[in-house]
Chain A
Amino acid sequence: SQQGEEDPQALSIQEGENATMNCSYKTSINNLQWYRQNSGRGLVHLILIRSNEREKHSGRLRVTLDTSKKSSSLLITASRAADTASYFCATEPNFGNEKLTFGTGTRLTIIP
């Protein structure tokens, strides 16, 4: 299977704390993306990092990419109750086949 894996599978933290989730993948990539999915809804794109980038920020989100380890991390700072959702990483392979391979997801719960 080409599917990536995310770690941890589930994470519960207090509101205001930082949340970190990790993604590992198997093939060489053009880019890696993170998506959020609220319960029973579609996915929402959060951030895209290209293979030649090491770190990217968007608001309270910080993404790192280590292509030598085939891994990425998503940090959400100062978490809010509204951040409660599932988070998926997705990769575009470097042979560019128009498709993304999604990771297994991390279920994040923010405790008010």
Chain B
Amino acid sequence: DAMVIQNPRYQVTQFGKPVTLSCSQTLNHNVMYWYQQKSSQAPKLLFHYYDKDFNNEADTPDNFQSRRPNTSFCFLDIRSPGLGDAAMYLCATSRYGGEEQYFGPGTRLTVT
């Protein structure tokens, strides 16, 4: 029973072509997170939502945007992907934040 679902699992986009990654959850958790993870590195937090309150990390590029239209869904938009944006993108949820996070399987983004 998948609890955090990410689509697609693999995404190939062209340099500069906008792309949207999606995440959905069946846990009814308040907090949703987007992380970027590059090879052999720790996940890097891009932003998170506590309910509808959006929290951006100071070093997240403006090229990255997010939407959370309802409790279950959250989207990551990359407006003009560069080669340096190729990475695994992980979505996670938490009931109240700071506690256990539940991760989706990730979306592997390739930029050509």
Contacts and interface: CB of A to CB of B under 8 A. Distances in A.
Contacts of B106: 40-42
A25 interface: no
A31 to B, nearest CB: 7
A99 B97 contact: yes
A45 interface: yes
Given A42-B90, A98-B55, A99-B48, A107 B98 contact: no
Interface in A85-112: 88, 90, 92, 96-100, 102-105, 107
Nearest to B88: A40
Contacts of A97: 97-98
Interface size class of B (residues with CB under 8 A): 20 to 34
A48 interface: yes
A30 interface: yes
Nearest to A104: B42
A103 B44 CA distance: 10
A88 B99 contact: no
A44 interface: yes
Interface residues of A, number: 25
Nearest to B44: A102
A71 interface: no
B42 A100 contact: no
A42 B105 contact: yes
Nearest to A6: B42
A99 B45 contact: yes
Nearest to B33: A99
A102 B100 contact: no
B78 interface: no
9 contacts: A31-B98, A35-B101, A40-B106, A41-B105, A43-B101, A90-B101, A96-B98, A98-B94, A99-B33
Interface of A: 3, 30-31, 33, 35, 40-45, 48, 88, 90, 92, 96-100, 102-105, 107
Given A31-B99, A33-B100, A43-B101, 9 more contacts: A35-B101, A42-B4, A96-B98, A98-B48, A98-B96, A98-B97, A99-B33, A100-B101, A104-B42
